Amino acid sequence: MKKVAILQSNYIPWKGYFDLIGLVDEFILYDDMQYTRRDWRNRNKIKTQAGTQWLTIPVDSKGKYYQKINETRVSDHEWCDSHWKAISVNYAHAPHYKEYAERIHDLYQRCKEEDYLSKINHLFITEICDILDINTKISWSSDYTLADGKTERLVSLVKDSGGTEYLSGPAAQDYIEDNLFADAGIKLTYMNYDGYPEYPQLFGAFEHAVSILDLIFNTGRDARSYMKTPV
């Protein structure tokens, strides 16, 4: 039995994204898909004393309505320093900041050499999986032959990767044709993001929808205790 998940890459994603990775045997980055503006591809939130703050990677997307995520280029690299400054200022007093600061800062330094959004997202995702001790195989949809049709393509990716079960994000229930998975002999299940426990967090009211960095800096090696991926 092999469980597979397929999802577009996100920038420093929230804990639910990493649970989707942690609960499967192979996670396929679906960056052959169209880049969508004002989405999670190139931005995420952190907590600050003034509320949540967006950190956004500037990309070259003007007039490029049909470019794929893996074709999307960063428009300048000054964001690396500004994002790290925002993170270091707002998490400097988090209990586990010093434990991980150098490692995260190094990621931002390495991003100065990367021109493509997909590669930057992959860099953060793989490093954070290592921090969380999540050992799932991470591959690219471009590693496989892509079929035509929205659901057909997902079925094909799961089959070609040797999968027998597909774990999907809940939003996909609006368009997935369940019968195509059944016809292919693939079990289809949906991720449930309800029921996350709160953890010690800086700056007022608790907020679930922030970058995984918030959980790491605040809980350190106990981070998985506040996730759905088994410890």
User: Please, which pLDDT band fits residue 106 given cuts at 50, 70 and 90?
Assistant: very high
Q: Span 26-51, mean pLDDT?
A: 96
Give pLDDT tens digits for 82-99: 999 999 999 999 999 999
Other C-beta atoms within 10 Å of 118: how many? 23
Q: Which structural domain, as residue segments, surrounds residue 188?
A: 3-226
Residue 231 lies in a domain: no
Query: Hey, is 39 helix, strand or coil?
Result: coil
Mean pLDDT of the chain, nearest integer: 96
Residue 38 lies in a domain: yes
User: Please, which pLDDT band fits residue 65 given cuts at 50, 70 and 90?
Assistant: confident
- Kindly report whether the global pTM for this prediction surpasses the value 0.85: yes
pLDDT at residue 151 greater than cutoff 90: yes
Q: Span 118-142, mean pLDDT?
A: 98
Q: Span 94-117, mean pLDDT?
A: 97
Look at residue 231 in the predicted model and tell me its pLDDT.
Answer: 87
Task: State the DSSP code for 146.
Answer: P
Domain count, the chain: 1
Residue 75 lies in a domain: yes
Taking each helix axis from N to C end, the angle separating 15-22 and 212-219, rounded to the nearest 10 degrees, works out to 90
Residue 42 lies in a domain: yes
pLDDT at residue 64 greater than cutoff 90: no
Q: Residue 204, by phi and psi: left (phi above 0), alpha (psi -120 to 50) or beta?
A: left
pLDDT at residue 38 greater than cutoff 90: no
Taking each helix axis from N to C end, the angle separating 117-131 and 97-111, rounded to the nearest 10 degrees, works out to 160
* Rounded percentage of the chain residues whose pLDDT exceeds 70: 100
Look at residue 27 in the predicted model and tell me its pLDDT.
Answer: 98
Look at residue 71 in the predicted model and tell me its pLDDT.
Answer: 97
Who's near 185: CB < 8 A, 6+ residues apart? 164
Look at residue 63 in the predicted model and tell me its pLDDT.
Answer: 84
- 35 with 67: CB under 8 angstroms? yes
